[in-house]
């Protein structure tokens, strides 16, 4: 019913930048919030940043001052600008969307397939 497609991952040197994108498509009435999470090998998935439909943002401490989350509501797309990347940022990055399929409908949560970010020292 809904697909989230991420792009923009890759290999970058420490101190470099990457911009991730995630576009949602399908049967969508409204998206309440979108976010980015990451999972490094052997670790649990953790929050990176979230953004609501009104633009309110929340960041993990590790992301504050380096990462910026934004969204284009008209395109159902969320972005993550990552600057001053560190080797410890290496992980698979996943986007999520909390959305409804109809007016007043139940909120569902969908995940993207993930995009690899590797930061070399």
In order, the DSSP letters of 32-88 are EEEEEEEE-TTS--EEEEEEETT--EEE-TTTTTTEEEEEEGGGTEEEEEE-S--GG
User: Looking at the predicted structure, is the pLDDT value of residue 85 above 90?
Assistant: yes
pLDDT of residue 114: 97
R_g of the chain, CA atoms, integer Å: 14
Tell me how far apart the 2 most distant CA atoms of the chain are, in Å: 48
Q: What's the pLDDT score for residue 1?
A: 87
In tens, the pLDDT along 15-53 reads 999 999 999 999 999 999 999 999 999 999 999 999 999
What distance in Å separates the CA atoms of residue 66 and residue 16, rounded to the nearest whole number?
11
Chain segment 91-116, per-residue pLDDT in tens: 999 999 999 999 989 999 999 999 99
**Is the pLDDT assigned to residue 83 strictly greater than 90?**
yes
Q: Are 31 and 48 in contact (CB under 8 A)?
A: no
pLDDT of residue 57: 98
Q: Rounded distance, CA 10 to CA 19, Å? A: 10
For residue 79, pLDDT over 90 is answered with: yes
């Amino acid at each position: 019913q809904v697909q989230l497609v991420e792009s923009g991952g890759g290999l970058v040197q420490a101190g470099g930048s990457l911009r991730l994108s995630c576009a949602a498509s399908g049967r969508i009435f409204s998206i309440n919030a979108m976010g980015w999470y990451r999972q490094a090998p052997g670790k649990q998935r953790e929050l990176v940043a979230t953004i609501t439909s009104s633009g309110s943002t929340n960041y993990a401490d590790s992301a504050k001052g380096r990462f910026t989350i934004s969204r284009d509501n008209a395109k159902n797309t969320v972005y993550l600008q990552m600057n001053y990347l560190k080797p410890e940022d290496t992980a698979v990055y996943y986007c999520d969307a909390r959305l409804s399929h109809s007016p007043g409908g139940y909120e569902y949560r969908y995940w993207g397939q993930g995009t690899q970010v590797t930061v070399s020292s």
